[in-house]
A and B are shown apart, each in its own frame.
Chain A
Amino acid sequence: MIGIEPERVQFSWISAGEGERFANIIEKITNEVKKIGPATRLVKGAKQ
């Protein structure tokens, strides 16, 4: 709503037994966030 990139905030539900699923999801999120680069919004002193 306030304009934080949707890729940056993601929710998921992973059981402690689902190691592989955890790894996959983390990899997916990391890739997506890498694509949009470092945060500039809501960061103090960042050039906006």
Chain B
Amino acid sequence: MIQNLRMEVKKLLKDKKVDIVLGWEKGSLPLSSTPLFIHEEEDVDRLIFDETCRNNLTTYLTKDKRKLGKTYDKIGIIVKGCDARSIVLYSIEQQIKKENVVIIGVPCNGVLEKKKILRKTENKEILESKIDGKNVHLKGRDFDMIIPLNEVLCDSCLTCRYPDAPVHDIFIGKPRKEVDIKDEYKNVIDFEKKSSEERWEYIKEEYSKCLRCYACRNVCPACYCNECFVDQNDPQWIGKTPEVTDTIIFHLIRNLHVAGRCVDCGACVSACPVDLDLRIMNKKVEKEVKERFDYTAGLDINEKPAMASYCENEKQDFIMG
């Protein structure tokens, strides 16, 4: 597959269909990858795609555009299912012109969650690693481990319905097709059943860990505002302390800002340095949007955003008599 991918990218560059291709190359540490910006054909051989390709590169099309150094007319980008859905979002929200981007889809088997791996190795340094279809082989100074892949994949990947790019120009490899997942909202449903006290206790405990580093916002493909509400001083929308009420408000507002837009790529969860359970609220909002508006973000490039369209028969059960 990787050979076909490299060939295709070479062809695109040769035919001048794109000026640059965004992909991944091997990182300097085991089990890591780093973004690769391909301008020349000879760089193509460094391109990889496997379970370490965590980063959602689509942010280079919007907020991280200036990191590319100059503006490109035509950008090729290699995408997993969730990345492609972010591009759909950008197109719907008129952040990019679809015709300027060549979407190269690859079949994704899920990506590794570094934090889960470190928990397994008890934070010991990994010196060598190998991934074969089902297991991850790890070697360190005084340990040797084989971990089943599904124990160290991102939570989002474990309940991912759309591993292939739903919208693409080119697809390399065999699509996995839509996966039938039944319990993607299990955590949310279990949480909803708890009493108001129990829920408050959990939320308070979790969010009191937050350092307000904004890593979740910075990696989020849906958070591309030029000026974020948390950075504004005039007016100052929210308190800036790491006190738990302020952090809860920050996360709640962010949840609502990405309502109907979050593609559950899991970038925020992976980026969080204190391992906050950010996903439960994201999933809750996703579930609400799905139930109320029958909308899933990033699948149809011609659809209107859920929060910018109105339909007469929408549920209004939150309004009391």
Query: CB within 8 Å of B: which residues of A?
Result: 1-6, 10-13, 25, 41-44, 48
Contacts and interface: CB of A to CB of B under 8 A. Distances in A.
A3 B199 contact: yes
Name the residue among B191, B319, B320 with the largest chain A CB count within 10 angstroms: B320
B284 A42 contact: no
B245 A2 contact: no
B201 A10 contact: no
22 contacts: A1-B192, A1-B199, A1-B284, A2-B199, A2-B248, A3-B199, A3-B200, A3-B202, A3-B203, A3-B204, A6-B196, A10-B320, A11-B319, A13-B319, A41-B200, A41-B204, A42-B249, A44-B239, A44-B243, A44-B245, A44-B246, A48-B204
Given A1-B281, A1-B284, A12 B245 contact: no
A13 B257 CA distance: 25
Nearest to A36: B196
Interface of B: 191-192, 196-204, 239, 243, 245-246, 248-249, 252, 281, 284, 318-321
B201 A3 contact: yes
A46 to B, nearest CB: 8
B157 to A, nearest CB: 24
Contacts, number: 44
**Smallest CB-CB A-B distances: 9 pairs:** A3-B200, A3-B199, A2-B203, A11-B319, A3-B196, A44-B245, A42-B245, A41-B200, A12-B320
A4 B196 contact: yes
Given A10-B320, A11-B318, A44-B243, 17 more contacts: A1-B192, A1-B284, A2-B200, A2-B281, A3-B198, A6-B196, A11-B319, A12-B319, A12-B320, A12-B321, A25-B320, A41-B200, A41-B204, A42-B249, A43-B245, A44-B245, A44-B246
Contacts of A4: 196, 200
B89 to A, nearest CB: 24
A12 B316 CA distance: 10
B261 to A, nearest CB: 18
A2 B192 CA distance: 9
A11 B248 CA distance: 22
Nearest to B284: A1
Contact of A3 (B197, B245, B281, B284): B197
